[in-house]
Amino acid sequence: MKKALKIGLSVLIPVTVVLGLALICSPKPKFNDTVLVAGQPLEKIVKDSEVILTGEVTNISGTKLASEGNRWFEDALGYREVTIKVERFLYNSIGLNDEVKIVVLGGQMRPPLDVALRKGNPFLVRHFADEAQFEVGEKMLVFLKRGYIGYKKANGEEGKMNRLGLVGCWQGKFRVEGNEAVNYLPELSRDISEIEKMVRQKAL
């Protein structure tokens, strides 16, 4: 009886410890919602674009830090790179190739242990409410332009990097469904031929 009890305890205690650690260390993302832009009409989105293309998402990177060497700074901006295999350029004023990488702000990152302990969470998530969401294999039409993202230099000073991103955040991303370009806002959705007509007028 005593032997069986000892065996039972020897199994139960490690299992309890493992479950306890799992509960403590399981990622419970904390969201910091930040609004970036106000609504824009499609005509302005087309006007502000340097590149308009249709394509498919082939890769979404893990979260990177906008700092030299991806060094951890607690207030550094997090971002992900979305790789798009281009099907067709509707407009391209900056000579891009058939694979394009764009920057999407936000994401999940694992901070250093001392920061994680101080924050009470091994993962930190910053979510920008106006940023578009992407999925690998998704077919879309996107409106792009170059813009500056603030980053931290190795000495802690502020710097800027020039990267390609969506015009108007999520307003610049449309899901392709047949001949339709579908936006989160129904009033922005259009037949692709109508968008092509607007692009031709832009090029005049």
Domain ranges of the chain: 29-203
The pLDDT assigned to 1 comes to 52
Domain at 29-203: CATH architecture: Beta Barrel (2.40)
DSSP label of 34: B
User: Dihedral, CA atoms, 187, 191, 192, 193, nearest 10 degrees?
Assistant: -130
The pLDDT assigned to 184 comes to 87
The pLDDT assigned to 155 comes to 84
- Is the pTM value of this prediction over 0.95? no
pLDDT per residue as tens, the chain (204 positions): 544 444 444 544 443 433 333 322 333 333 334 444 557 889 999 999 999 999 999 999 988 888 887 777 777 778 899 999 999 999 998 989 999 999 998 777 677 676 667 766 666 666 666 688 899 999 999 999 998 888 788 888 888 888 999 998 889 999 999 999 999 888 999 999 999 999 998 877
The pLDDT assigned to 63 comes to 83
The pLDDT assigned to 127 comes to 63
Buried b (16+ CB within 10 A) or exposed e, 179-188: eebbbeeeeb
The pLDDT assigned to 156 comes to 82
